[in-house]
Amino acid sequence: MSELRFDAIVVGGGIVGCTAAYFLAREGRKVAVVERDTLACGTSSKSFAWINGTSKTADENYHRLNARGLAAYCELAVEYGEDALGLNPSGTLSVVQTSDTANYAAAREQARQLAAFGYPAAWVDVHALRRMEPHLNFPDDAEALFAMADHCLDAPKFVQFMAAQVRALGGTVFEGCAAHTLEASDEGQVTGLMTDNGSLKSHSVIVAAGPGTAEVLSTLTGYDGFATRFPLHQVPGLLVSTPSLSPHRRIRHVIYSSISPEIHMLPDFNGGLKIGSDETDGMVTAESSPDHLHNVASILLERVKEHLPEFPGQACLDECTMTLGIRPYPKDGHSLAGPLPGATGLYVIATHSGITLAPALGALMAELITTGRTPEMLKPFTLDRIEGF
Ligand SMILES: Cc1cc2nc3c(=O)[nH]c(=O)nc-3n(C[C@H](O)[C@H](O)[C@H](O)COP(=O)(O)OP(=O)(O)OC[C@H]3O[C@@H](n4cnc5c(N)ncnc54)[C@H](O)[C@@H]3O)c2cc1C
């Protein structure tokens, strides 16, 4: 295969890689995306895909990065339209009971923080809740934090859209093309990447390999230390997607309910529900057998039935789709994004909440690469905050 030259090469065709490539291409850069398998085959297609800053209030910089992600989707929607992007401006209801004093106090504090950050949210009582979600069963002391600007995303559709824009802007998307070895000069300047399609030349390579980032960095650089020292956990999560519940639209908003049994669900793009729970995530591992996943999925469906009496529960299990996804979870919980010390021109983006954050981090990384300066908003998330990097 003949030599191909690019301004930047992105390793990983998930939401983070394709969105970063899109923002670079928008800046007039000739980019290549190198995807080992097919676009969005990794965590990006196994995600709850709730776009929000609502659940991130503990750290202001991280909240603002997530809020920036949400704002970036709204800007893209103005340009391309929600349907083309796979965006649903659903809003979120985080439901609590006043009698659950610990969760209620936490939710009130969350509302106070969001107001302090200027994030759009309001408190609603049980009467409003029942009007907003007429199919759901709420106890009389239910209340909710309503985050009206939150969205949910058909993430695989969005990834395909970003990739199509990259191509339209003159970039190249290689699928079925694994990245193997980084090429660098004696001075440590990245010069290219050896792939299944031969050598691709560039002075900038961005690794956006999701939960496989540590392993990919080890392979590309030949430095085994990345596999053990890169500060990223892999955290599994199980989601169940139901078939369409037509003719009824059972829920309208993303629902995060701490009312027992704890559940989160969203209106899926096929007219069904996408369902998960932090508690059931604690019951699965990356090695869980299909039988075990089946059992945990049944638990999830029964939980939904307690909130949504008309829902068939585990009776519809055979018609549902189960997905076990692996979260790329940085050890301090916050995104890892920026240059990797040791090789000039090597960058990484590894993050949880990558659905929310992809357009924020992609645009910031494009700015870093095109100007050579680290944008202020990115500074708290670069790798030099981690000891040993
Ligand atoms: C259960 C669950 C629920 C979640 N819920 C949310 C949510 O509600 N909101 C939110 O914002 N985030 C959520 N997340 C997190 C979010 O989905 C991830 O942060 C995001 O999908 C990561 O995207 P990515 O592009 O970095 O990784 P991926 O989508 O995994 O993409 C990485 C790509 O790299 C490719 N690759 C790997 N090695 C190579 C190689 N050597 N050469 C070429 N290509 C390679 C892979 O094939 C893969 O396609 C959730 C995750 C899970 C698992």
- pLDDT tens figures, 1-55: 445 999 999 999 999 999 999 999 999 999 999 999 999 999 999 999 999 999 9
Distance, CA of 363 to CA of 203 (rounded, Å): 19
Q: Could you tell me which of 103, 101, 119 has the C-alpha nearest to residue 111?
A: 119
Distance between CA atoms of residues 364 and 351, nearest Å = 14
Tell me which amino acid residue 160 is: Q
**Residue in the block written with tokens 């995306």:** 33
Q: Which residues contact 159 (CB under 8 A, 6 or more apart)?
A: 13, 14, 15, 18, 39, 40, 44
120 neighbors 147 (Cβ within 8 angstroms): yes
Q: How far is the CA of 211 from the centre of ligand 1 (A)?
A: 7
- pTM for the model stands at 0.97
3-class state of residue 273 by DSSP: strand
In this structure, what token pair is assigned to residue 330? 């940085």
381 CA to middle of ligand 1, Å? Answer: 18
29 class by beta-carbon count within 10 Å (0-12 exposed, 13-18 middle, 19+ buried): buried
CA of 135 to the centre of ligand 1 (A): 33
Q: Report CA torsion sign: 220, 222, 228, 229.
A: negative
Angstrom distance (rounded) from CA 87 to CA 158: 8
Atom 4 in ligand 1: residue holding the nearest Cα:
47
> Whose CA is closest to atom 50 on ligand 1?
47
The residues near 250 (Cβ < 8 Å, ≥ 6 apart) are 135, 267, 273, 308, 310, 311
- Cα separation, 113 vs 119, whole angstroms: 9
Instruction: State the distance from the centre of ligand 1 to the C-alpha of 18, rounded, in angstroms.
Output: 11
CATH architecture for segment(s) 4-46+155-231+332-385: 3-Layer(bba) Sandwich (3.50)
What are the C-alpha distances in Å from 188 to residues 208, 334, 370, 378, 380?
21, 28, 20, 24, 25
pLDDT tens for each residue of 224-264: 988 889 999 999 999 999 999 887 778 999 999 999 999 99
Q: What per-residue confidence (pLDDT) applies to 3?
A: 56
Which pair of structure tokens corresponds to residue 303? 């939980």
What's residue 387's pLDDT? 82
State which ligand 1 atom lies nearest to the alpha carbon of 355: 11
**Distance, CA of 160 to CA of 14 (rounded, Å):** 9
Atom 52 (ligand 1) nearest CA: 47
254 Cβ closer than 6 Å to some ligand 1 atom: no
Contact 43, 211 (CB under 8 A): yes
What is the layout of strands, in order, in the sheet containing 50-51?
50-51, 151-153, 87-88
Whose Cα sits closest to atom 17 in ligand 1? 47
Cβ neighbours of 342 (radius 10 Å): 11
The residues of the chain scoring below 50 in pLDDT are 1-2
Protein residue whose Cα sits closest to atom 5 of ligand 1: 48
**Nearest CA, atom 25, ligand 1:** 14
Residue 48 CB less than 6 A away from ligand 1: yes
What is the crossing angle of helices 155-168 and 15-26, to 10°?
Answer: 30
What does the pLDDT read at residue 342? 77
Ligand 1 and 150: CB distance under 6 A = no
- Residue 201 C-beta-side C-alpha neighbours within 13 Å: 6
Which of 33, 34, 38, 48 to mutate to test ligand 1, by most ligand atoms within 8 A of the CB atom? 48
